[in-house]
C-alpha cells in the first residue's frame, strides 16, 4: 500500500506542478484565492485546474484512509519538508491518535470541497500557496459529524506536498 500511495502521490505531484505554475496567481496575505472562473483563465487552464483539484482530492482521500488504518507515520514520511520542520513524526502520530481516538471509527465521509489559499508568512503559517481539502465525516462515537481537513503546500520545487491534517 505504501508504494502504491507513493507512486500515486508522486504522479499527482508531478502533474500538479505544471498546473500550479501556470494557473496560480499571487494573492494578498491569508486570503482565499479567487475562484478560478473569475481570474480570466483560458478554457484549457480552467480544465487543468479543475483536474488538479479532483486529483488532489483523491490523494487527500488516500491520506485519510491511511490515517484510518493507523498509518499516520506513512503519511508523515511523504510530507513536505516544511511539515517535518513543524512537527516530528512521533508528535504527528500522537496528535492524530489523540484527536481521533475519542471519535471512534469513521463511517460516512463526504467530500466538502477544495479551497486554495496563499499566506505571506506573517501569521502562524509559513508563506506559500496552500490547498485544503475538506470532508464531513461521521464517526461512531461522535454525536455530530466532524470536519476533516487535509492540507497541501506548493513546495519551493513547485510540487504540491502534504503538510497537515486536522479533525474538528
Per-residue pLDDT of 114-168, as tens digits, reads 999 999 988 888 899 999 999 999 999 999 999 999 999 999 999 999 999 999 9
Q: Is 50 helix (H, G, I), strand (E, B) or coil?
A: helix
pLDDT at 111 over 90: yes
pLDDT at 5 over 80: no
* DSSP label at residue 25: -
For the chain, give the mean pLDDT. Answer: 83
**CATH architecture label of 2-167:** Roll (3.10)
- Per cent of the chain over pLDDT 70 is 77
Lowest-pLDDT range of 34-38, 57-61, 62-66, 91-95: 34-38
Mean pLDDT of 49-72: 96
Please tell me the distance from the alpha carbon of residue 52 to that of residue 162, in angstroms, as a whole number. Answer: 15
Q: Name the pTM for this structure.
A: 0.78
Supply the pLDDT for residue 32: 53
CB atoms within 10 A of CB 106: 20
pLDDT at 8 over 90: no
- Which pLDDT band holds residue 33 (cuts at 50, 70, 90)? low
pLDDT at 25 over 60: no
72 backbone dihedrals φ, ψ, rounded to 5°: -60, -30
Closest by CA to 16, choosing from 129, 100, 124, is: 129
Amino acid at each position: 500500500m505504501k508504494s502504491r500511495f507513493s507512486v500515486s502521490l508522486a504522479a499527482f505531484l508531478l502533474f500538479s506542478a505544471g498546473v500550479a505554475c501556470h494557473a496560480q496567481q499571487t494573492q494578498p496575505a491569508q486570503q482565499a484565492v479567487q475562484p478560478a472562473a473569475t481570474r480570466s483563465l483560458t478554457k484549457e487552464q480552467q480544465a487543468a485546474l479543475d483536474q488538479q483539484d479532483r486529483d488532489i482530492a483523491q490523494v487527500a482521500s488516500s491520506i485519510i484512509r491511511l490515517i484510518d488504518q493507523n498509518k499516520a507515520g506513512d503519511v508523515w514520511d511523504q510530507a513536505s519538508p516544511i511539515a517535518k520542520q513543524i512537527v516530528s513524526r512521533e508528535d504527528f502520530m500522537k496528535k492524530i491518535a489523540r484527536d481521533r481516538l475519542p471519535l471512534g471509527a469513521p463511517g460516512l465521509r463526504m467530500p466538502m470541497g477544495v479551497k486554495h489559499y496563499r499566506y505571506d508568512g506573517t501569521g502562524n503559517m509559513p508563506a506559500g500557496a496552500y490547498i485544503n481539502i475538506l470532508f464531513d465525516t461521521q464517526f461512531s462515537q461522535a454525536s455530530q459529524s466532524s470536519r476533516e481537513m487535509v492540507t497541501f503546500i506548493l513546495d519551493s520545487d513547485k510540487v504540491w506536498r502534504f503538510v497537515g491534517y486536522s479533525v474538528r
